[in-house]
């Protein structure tokens, strides 16, 4: 078997996971091709501003990791070629909107999604100004095209049977998946759960693919019958208790147990809305909402409009706690929610930093609306009628949430008296997957010692001292310069608010 890897950035645990996979194939006698970035890209996910010192540190760490791997003759290390200049005919020079960027195709392939995904994550705004960030778009686009063309040539030359790639969503990685689909090459995407010495593999799909994840849920559920319900229930209970499991952080630890919003009237028809962080999924192909455009906040507005003259109803929007540290002035989603709050008297917005108990809100409301938030499946488990309003989610096909096909159907469900919750047991498969995936594939050579630290064959892979120190020094002075030129940012850094 011919297996292909390519390295753009070497953060822990991504780097060590690929070293683990390379060694596994090496020991199986497979031919392994490894393509390493040489700092030729204008930008990458881990070095967006193209710091040469960061590139040097990255290459130094790769060198030392490669030494720890001690590869056999089965492994061939190759270098990324220099970037070629692209003419005005090759790529557009400007985009009028993020939506136009997402729809951009190169060589017939949707690389625009990856470019938009990287930049949305970078700016934490799903509707960032494409004119203001024109140069950032262009350098990300050129880098993505370079990866695409390089991999296309490598695949033609080496004819790999399988490729491994991290995540598969961002600008530097999506071209690999697009080419694998085009050239009929098997691929695996991988993730590393926090605080676990295991890694997860998804064959011919990404972790965001609801169809693939649903199939995985079904397979896991059928593979284990003895303790599966107990395990599944424990995930939902841990989530509610704020316990850390396979989540990076608990969003409820700062909340005050049983606290509801001021003026909460149990005599009204109270509806809880748990939104999602749009910048986390806005540039994933197939995640567009078929009911509400351009996004879920617009959908909330349409729902509120239909109920604004009916005083029996009150809506409570719990803005995702993950957005706690994002400035409203710099984020389109938060600004849109602010406008809804000022426009509709039938809406109570619970902002990310507020200590209102999300689960007390869930318990006290008649129905729950989500657009893909995990709270949708949690509401189903806790016996609430849960409505997935056109959004995409990993639990969409379990049968535990209502799936309206139009705005009119959403309104009809909200108005329906005594709407029954769907069977609770249908939500269990989601919780079981969340915890059973923690078993994943155990690392044999890599041992995590922290979220972003660990050892490979007992070696903590580090860059050489000189490039590491030089990068840290230049990084420090760069941050000082930015802070001095931006007093508001400086105050924010000092007060952590």
Cβ(337)–Cβ(329) under 8 Å? no
The answer on pLDDT for 48 being more than 90 is yes
Residue 89's pLDDT is: 65
Residue 438's pLDDT is: 67
CA–CA distance, 317 with 261 (Å, rounded to integer) = 11
CA–CA distance, 194 with 197 (Å, rounded to integer) = 8
Instruction: Provide the pLDDT confidence category of residue 71 given band limits of 50, 70 and 90.
Output: very high
Q: Report helix, strand or coil for 44.
A: strand
CA–CA distance, 165 with 4 (Å, rounded to integer) = 9
CA–CA distance, 315 with 367 (Å, rounded to integer) = 10
Residue 446 has φ and ψ, to the nearest 5°, of -100, 135
CA dihedral 32, 37, 41, 44 (to 10 degrees): 90
CA–CA distance, 72 with 24 (Å, rounded to integer) = 12
**Cα angle 287-97-100, degrees, rounded to a multiple of 5:** 60
Is there a cis peptide before residue 193, judged by omega within 30 degrees of 0?
A: no
Residue 495's pLDDT is: 53
Tokens of 124: 């934490």
User: Tens of pLDDT along 97-124?
Assistant: 999 999 999 999 999 999 999 999 999 9
The answer on pLDDT for 243 being more than 60 is yes
Domains and CATH numbers, the chain: 2-197+443-460 (3.40.50.620), 248-430 (3.40.50.2000), 464-497 (no CATH)
Q: Which residues does 304 contact at the CB level (< 8 Å), separation at least 6?
A: 315, 340, 343, 344, 346, 347
Q: Which residue has the tokens 């047991």?
A: 425
The answer on pLDDT for 466 being more than 90 is no
The answer on pLDDT for 331 being more than 90 is yes
Q: For 255-261, what is the mean pLDDT?
A: 96
285 vs 114, 282, 371, 415, 489, CA distance in Å?
9, 8, 16, 32, 34
pTM above 0.75, yes or no: yes
The answer on pLDDT for 226 being more than 90 is no
User: Higher-confidence residue: 321 or 86?
Assistant: 321
Give 213-216 contacts, CB < 8 A, sequence gap 24+. Answer: 213/394, 213/433, 214/394, 214/396, 214/397, 214/398, 216/433
CA–CA distance, 460 with 447 (Å, rounded to integer) = 10
The answer on pLDDT for 494 being more than 60 is no
High-pLDDT (> 90) share of the chain, %: 78
Tokens of 317: 């929007």
User: Tens of pLDDT along 171-189?
Assistant: 999 999 999 999 999 999 9
Q: Based on the number of CB atoms within 10 Å of its own CB, is 316 exposed (0-12), middle (13-18) or buried (19 or more)?
A: buried
Q: Report helix, strand or coil for 466.
A: helix
Tokens of 233: 């229930």
CA–CA distance, 144 with 200 (Å, rounded to integer) = 25
Residue 455 has φ and ψ, to the nearest 5°, of -130, 145
310 Rama class: left (phi>0) / alpha (psi -120 to 50) / beta: beta
Residue 228's pLDDT is: 93
Q: For 236-250, what is the mean pLDDT?
A: 73
Lowest mean pLDDT among 251-255, 263-267, 344-348, 391-395: 251-255
CA–CA distance, 402 with 120 (Å, rounded to integer) = 30
DSSP letter for 328, please.
Answer: G
Residue closest to 280 by CA, chosen among 246, 229, 331: 331
Q: Kindly report the number of other CB atoms within 10 A of residue 2's CB atom.
A: 15
Average pLDDT, whole number, for the chain?
A: 92
Q: Based on the number of CB atoms within 10 Å of its own CB, is 454 exposed (0-12), middle (13-18) or buried (19 or more)?
A: buried
The answer on pLDDT for 311 being more than 90 is yes
CA–CA distance, 393 with 401 (Å, rounded to integer) = 11
The answer on pLDDT for 496 being more than 80 is no
Q: Which residues does 151 contact at the CB level (< 8 Å), separation at least 6?
A: 6, 35, 175, 176, 179
The answer on pLDDT for 233 being more than 70 is yes
Residue 357 has φ and ψ, to the nearest 5°, of -80, 115
């Amino acid at each position: 078997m011919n297996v292909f890897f390519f390295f753009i950035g070497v953060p822990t645990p991504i780097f060590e996971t690929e070293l683990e996979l390379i060694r596994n194939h090496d020991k199986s006698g497979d031919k392994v091709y490894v393509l390493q970035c040489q700092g030729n890209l204008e930008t990458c996910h881990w070095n967006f501003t193209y710091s040469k010192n960061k590139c040097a540190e990255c290459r130094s760490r790769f060198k030392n990791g490669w030494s720890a791997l001690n590869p056999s003759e089965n492994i061939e290390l190759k270098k990324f070629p220099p970037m070629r200049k692209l003419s005005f005919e090759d790529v557009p020079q400007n985009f009028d909107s993020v939506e136009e960027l997402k729809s951009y195709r190169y060589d017939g392939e949707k690389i625009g999604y990856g470019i938009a995904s990287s930049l949305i994550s970078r700016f934490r705004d799903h509707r960032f100004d494409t004119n203001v960030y024109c140069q950032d778009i262009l350098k990300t686009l050129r880098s993505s095209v370079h990866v695409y063309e390089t991999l296309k040539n490598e695949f033609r030359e080496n004819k790999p049977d399988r490729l491994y790639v991290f995540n598969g969503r961002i600008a530097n990685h999506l071209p690999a998946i697009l080419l694998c689909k085009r050239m009929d090459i098997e691929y695996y995407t991988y993730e590393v759960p926090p605080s676990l010495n295991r890694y997860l593999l998804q064959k011919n799909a990404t972790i965001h693919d609801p169809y693939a994840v649903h199939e995985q849920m079904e397979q896991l559920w059928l593979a284990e019958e003895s303790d599966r319900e107990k395990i599944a229930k424990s995930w939902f209970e841990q989530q509610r208790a704020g316990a850390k499991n396979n989540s990076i952080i608990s969003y409820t630890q700062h909340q005050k147990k049983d606290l509801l919003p001021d003026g909460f009237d149990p005599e009204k028809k109270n509806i809880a809305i748990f939104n999602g962080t749009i910048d986390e999924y806005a540039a994933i192909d197939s995640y567009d909402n078929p009911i509400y455009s351009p996004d879920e906040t617009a959908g909330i507005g349409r729902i509120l409009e239909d109920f604004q003259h009916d005083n029996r109803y009150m809506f409570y929007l719990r803005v995702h706690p993950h957005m706690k540290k994002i400035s409203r002035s710099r984020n389109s989603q938060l600004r849109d929610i602010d406008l809804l709050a000022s426009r509709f008297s039938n809406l109570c917005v619970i902002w990310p930093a507020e200590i209102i108990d999300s689960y007390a809100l869930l318990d006290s409301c008649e129905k729950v609306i989500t657009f893909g938030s995990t709270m949708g499946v949690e509401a189903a488990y806790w016996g609430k009628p849960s409505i997935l309003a056109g959004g995409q989610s990993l639990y969409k096909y379990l049968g535990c949430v209502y799936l309206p096909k139009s705005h009119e159907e959403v309104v009809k469900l909200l108005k329906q008296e005594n709407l029954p919750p769907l069977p609770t047991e249908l939500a269990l498969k989601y919780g079981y997957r969340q915890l059973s995936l923690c078993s994943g594939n155990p690392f044999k050579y890599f041992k995590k010692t922290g979220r972003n630290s660990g050892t490979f064959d007992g070696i903590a892979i580090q860059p050489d001292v000189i490039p590491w120190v030089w990068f840290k020094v230049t990084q420090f002075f760069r941050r000082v310069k930015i802070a001095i030129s931006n007093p508001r940012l400086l105050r924010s850094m000092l007060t952590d608010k």
